[in-house]
Amino acid sequence: MLKDWTRFCDLSAKGGTMSLGDNPLVPPTDTGETLELPPSRLTATLGFGPSFFLREGVDRFGIAPTMPLHLKDIPRMARENIDPGISGGDVCLQICADDQQVAFHAVRNLIRLSTGRASLKWMQEGFASGTAGQTPRNLFGFKDGTANQLHDSAQGHDEVVWAGNDEPSWMRGGSYMAYRKIQMKLESWDRTSLSDQEATFGRSKVSGAAFGAHAEFDKVDAAKLPERSHVRLAKESKQQIHRRAYSYTDKVDPRTGNVDAGLLFISYQRDPDRQFVPMLRLMQNNDALNAYVSHVASAMFACPAGLQPGQYFGQRILES
Amino acid sequence: MMKKTSIGIVTIASMLALSACGGSKNDDAAGASSSASLTASSAAASPASASASADGSSAIRAGTAQMLDQTKQLQDLIGKSDADGVKTLGKTINETWLSFENAVRQTFPLEYTDVEKYEMPIFSASAYDKVDFDALKANASGLADALTKLQNAKPSTASSSELLKEAVKKYQQYVVDQTNKLTDQTQAFVDAVKAGNIDAAKAEYVKARVYYETIEPIAESFGELDPKIDARLADVDDPSAWTGFHEIEKALWVDHSLAGQDKYADQLITDVKALQAEVQKLELEPKTVVAGAMELLNEAATSKITGEEELYSHIDLVDLAANVDGSKTVYLSIIPALNESNVELADKLDEAFQEMEKALSGFVKDGQYVAYTELTTEQIRDISDRLAALSELMSQTAAIL
% of chain B with per-residue pLDDT over 90: 60
Cβ distance of B34 and A104 shorter than 8 Å: yes
- Are the beta carbons of A249 and B14 separated by less than 8 Å? no
Q: Do A125 and B25 touch (CB under 8 A)?
A: no
Residue A94 is classified by DSSP as E
Say what the pLDDT of residue B353 is: 94
What is the per-residue burial (b if ≥16 Cβ within 10 Å, else e) of A62-93? ebeebbbebbeebeebeebebeeebbbbbbbb
Average pLDDT, chain B: 85
- Asked if B315 contacts B249 with a C-beta cutoff of 8 angstroms, the reply is no
Nearest to B36 among A93, A129, A249 (CB): A93
Q: Which residues pair with A178 in a beta bridge?
A: A267, A300
Q: What is the DSSP string of B128-142?
A: SSS--HHHHHHHHHH
Regarding beta strands A43-48 and A91-97, do their DSSP bridges make them parallel or antiparallel, or are they unpaired? Answer: antiparallel
Chain B: give the shortest CA distance to residue A227, in Å: 30
What is the tens place of the pLDDT at every residue in A132-161? 889 999 999 999 999 999 999 999 999 999
Nearest CA in chain A to B291: A25
Judging contacts by C-beta atoms under 8 Å, the chain B residues touching residue A150 are: none
Residue A279: per-residue pLDDT = 96
Cβ-nearest to A111 among B30, B35, B36: B36
Chain B residues with CB under 8 Å of A101 CB are 14
Q: Is B376 on the interface with A (CB under 8 A)?
A: no
Probe site for chain B from A43, A99, A122, A217 (most B CB atoms < 10 A) = A99
Whole-number Cα distances in Å, B186 to B246, B248, B304, B314: 13, 12, 21, 19
Q: Does A311 reach chain B within 8 Å, measured CB to CB? A: no
Beta bridge mates, A246: A264
* pLDDT band at B35; cut points 50, 70, 90: low
Q: Give residues 222 to 251 of A whose Cβ lies within 8 Å of B.
A: 244, 246, 249
Least confident of A21-25, A99-103, B229-233, B235-239: A21-25
Among B16, B23, B35, the residue with its CB nearest the CB of A94 is B35
Integer Cα distance of A67 and A317 in angstroms: 9
Given CB atoms, is B83 within the 8 Å cutoff of chain A? no
Backbone phi and psi for residue A265, each to the nearest 5 degrees, phi listed first:
-70, 125
| Separation in Å, CA B318 to CA B187, B300, B304, B353, B373 | 19, 10, 9, 16, 13
pLDDT digits 0-9 by tens, B252-303? 999 999 999 999 999 999 999 999 999 999 899 888 898 899 999 988 988 8
Distance CA B371, CA B316 (A): 7
State whether A98 and B31 contact (CB < 8 Å). yes
Given this model, what pLDDT does residue A249 score? Answer: 97
Contact at CB, A27 and B395, closer than 8 angstroms = yes
| Model pLDDT for residues A214-271, shown as the tens digit of each residue | 999 999 999 999 999 999 999 999 999 999 999 999 999 999 999 999 999 999 999 9
Alpha-helical (H) ranges within B195-312 are 198-214, 216-220, 225-230, 245-250, 262-280, 286-299
C-alpha B87 chain-centroid distance? 23
One-character DSSP codes across A270-282 = S-HHHHTHHHHHH
User: Does pLDDT of B337 surpass 90?
Assistant: no
Any chain B CB within 8 A of the CB of A172?
no
pLDDT band at A100 (very low <50, low <70, confident <90, very high): very high
Main-chain phi, psi angles of B237, to 5 degrees: -70, -45
| Cβ contact B31–A97 (<8 Å) | yes
Q: What is the pLDDT of residues B211-224, one digit of tens each?
A: 999 998 888 888 78
d(CA A3, CA A5): 5
